[in-house]
Amino acid sequence: MAARRILAGGIAQESHSFNPIRMGRDSFTITAGDDALARARGTNSTLGGIIDAAEAAGAEVIVPTLYRAQSGGPVEDAVFVEMKDIMLDAAKRGDFDAIALPLHGGMLTPTLHDPEGVLMQELRAIVGPDMPMTAAFDLHAHVTPEILETCDLLAAYLTNPHGDQGMTGLRAGRAALAMLDGTLKPVLAWSHLPMLTLGNDRTDEEPLQGLHARAAAAVAAQGVYDASIFNAQQFLDVPGLGQVVMAYGNGDATQAKALVANLAADLWTARARLIGTYPSLEGCLARAVAGTARPLILGDQGDRVAAGAPGDSTVILHALLGLGADLPAAMPICDAEAVARCRAAGVGATVTVTVGGRYSTVAPPVTLTGIVISAAEGASLVYQGPAEKGQRAFIGPFAVLRIGALKVVLTARPYSYIDPEYFRAMGVEPRDQRIVVTRSGYHFTLNYAAIGECITVDTPGMSSYRVKDLPFTVARPFYPLDDIAMTPEVHIKS
């Protein structure tokens, strides 16, 4: 008997509605076929988990194409169409038994608020209603009724900070195979809550920790087959923005419905507790000046590339410069023009450049004079993890400018720096700093824990949780911007 084959691939990117920088094709790492499989196999990634599930069952995975990019603004329509056409052409050729998609779920294009749903619907139109189709999503996905109607089983990350990407892909892959075996008939119960979580939404802290523990207990007891709690990306101005609580029964949704009803009710009751607060930047810098046992690794809440911000805020840079030049620190700024000038001058040259503040306008650009200590056309790195462990990433043109003990890491494209290997690839060792700034709010805390004390600081900007300052129109009403009276309703799909 020929090995069963699973079709995987697609596009994975998280979009920010208010970031004006469109993501073009050059923002993506594009792989396919054996290359995509080799890069993902054994990594803590959703495709890696799908491969693990398939190979453990003696099945094969085929990847017509996989587009992956950092978070940012909406993706250009042409990029999405190019990817979709490749996937649809593969679907038309057939020769596979199931579909398992390693996506993100929070992507936008200028004309589509639910491109993942469009991809799934068009695949479904080709393969018909009976072929198993599953997907692995980030828990910050925007989950729509169209996705739930089209997809047989949708699995979310269960951790924030995210450490279970591979396990999420494994769940999606195993579910597709179980449907092929006839041992799984997923019946979905789900509930939508028009609310945002804003800061106090780590899954290793209450109130989400307890909700996830109850969902996990229900799965372990086999009362439900799978359960997910989606805490939507907070910067999507899309219809139906909010939380989705969901669980799958196997052939029957009775226990899944009861679980979703209880979790959704308690999540809604806890909505005020999910609004968090952060330490001040000034207080953290004062600690660094006084001296700490380990480096302070700061997440710039207001300009989190991991949440789709542009990565050129100068708020923290201004504060560091205000301390003088004697504090060892690594500060990333996205500024292609400054990179080009530093590279033209060459390593060892003294240059004056004006950096940042073009898109993140809460603080003005900064003019710096320093020595270029590193510069190149690009570099590659492998995540040490645990988040995304084993994944290979690429850095475009970069330069490092030293001003006293301050190292300003300049890149032509924005990066979240959720793994220390980003700095090391450009010649900066995080362990040697007193302050290291990342463009992330959560995920860096996993990968820098062995290096220093990880703190997300309260800074203004495009990805700040001060959502009242953002021009939401389509997504409203939602809590906390609107006073909503509602009782969560549970829907069933068999």
The pLDDT of residue 325 is: 78
Q: 271-328 pLDDT, tens per residue?
A: 999 999 999 999 999 999 999 999 999 999 999 999 999 999 999 999 999 998 799 9
**pLDDT over 80 at 1, yes or no:** no
The residue to which tokens 């396919």 are assigned: 32
Query: Hey, which residues does 404 pair with through a beta bridge?
Result: none
**CA-based radius of gyration for the chain:** 23
Query: What secondary structure, in 3-state letters, does 110-160 show?
Result: CCCCCHHHHHHHHHHHHHCCCCCEEEEECCCCCCCHHHHHHCCEEEECCCC
Mean pLDDT of all residues in 224-235: 97
Q: Quote the CA–CA distance of 286 and 64 in Å, as a whole number.
A: 52
The pLDDT of residue 324 is: 87
211: helix, coil or strand? helix
Q: 459-492 pLDDT, tens per residue?
A: 999 999 999 999 999 999 999 999 999 999 999 9
Structural domains in the chain, CATH included, are: 5-274 (3.40.50.2300), 281-464 (no CATH)
The pLDDT of residue 474 is: 96
* Helix pair 281-290, 315-322: axis angle to 10 deg: 40
Query: Hey, which residues does 333 pair with through a beta bridge?
Result: 410
- Could you write out the DSSP letters of every residue in 3-20? PPEEE--EEE--B-TT--
Burial class (CB in 10 A: 0-12, 13-18, 19+), 361: middle
